[in-house]
Amino acid sequence: MSRKHVKRTTHDARRTTNIAVLASGNGSNFEAIVGAIKRGYIKKTCVKLLITDKEKAYVRVRAERLGITQLYINPREYNTGGAFDKKLIQVLKKEKIGLVVLAGYMRILTPVFVKKFKNKVINIHPALLPAFKGARAIGDAYRYGVKITGVTVHFVDECIDHGPIIAQKPLPVKKGESLSGLERRIHRAEHTLYPLVIKKISEGKVKVRNRHVQVG
């Protein structure tokens, strides 16, 4: 496990929601979220920590450039009985994290983790759930021939791509559009919708009861 400290923007801990972003790959959503906070679009919120399970993930480069503390946890050091998620819980509690944001995080969270952070973990999915769950959602929807696809932000529960839906953004599939073209538009939509949802959460405008989410 390695941790790298870099300069962070100071914040008032009494008024600020601390966010931890969990990511495994490129990190474009991570950068969109950090950018929205730095611009003042999302207030009373601080991305305190990036956690990744991939040593060479490009998201780590983005974190260093943006001045966000990062933590790489090597899964090989925590490969038994949910030890990896237990380590995550330990770190998040120590850092007083109020919201966990999954941004291309490819590990499945254990029920123990989800229970510990109930309704405090959100994820973004590149399709209109409950359709086209899984890691290949954009391609699956495209090959199925849907006329409308989109993006979903939802709370995370014990099942994959299943938690209560917070917000969705539909996107029509253009006639003759390539898969790569659709992917680019989906990602642009993600970079808009995810910061918006985090903004609403930071303002106390997201309420959840069972599977019903009210966004003010």
- Do 109 and 3 fall within a single domain? yes
Q: Which domain holds residue 105?
A: 1-117
Cα dist from 205 to 96, 162, 168, 173, whole Å:
21, 22, 16, 31
212 given a catalytic annotation: no
- Do 74 and 172 fall within a single domain? no
- Do 95 and 136 fall within a single domain? no
Q: What is the pTM of this model?
A: 0.91
Final residue before a domain boundary, out of 117, 132, 147: 117
- Do 131 and 113 fall within a single domain? no
> Among the options 125, 154, 187, 191, which is catalytic?
125
Residues of the chain falling short of pLDDT 70: 1-15
- Do 12 and 111 fall within a single domain? yes
pLDDT score, position 16: 86
- Do 94 and 170 fall within a single domain? no
Final residue before a domain boundary, out of 117, 148, 168: 117
Domain count, the chain: 2
- Do 105 and 161 fall within a single domain? no
pLDDT score, position 10: 33
User: What confidence tens digit (pLDDT) does each residue in 90-134 have?
Assistant: 999 999 999 999 999 999 999 999 999 999 999 999 999 999 999
- Do 131 and 111 fall within a single domain? no
pLDDT score, position 12: 39
pLDDT score, position 6: 42
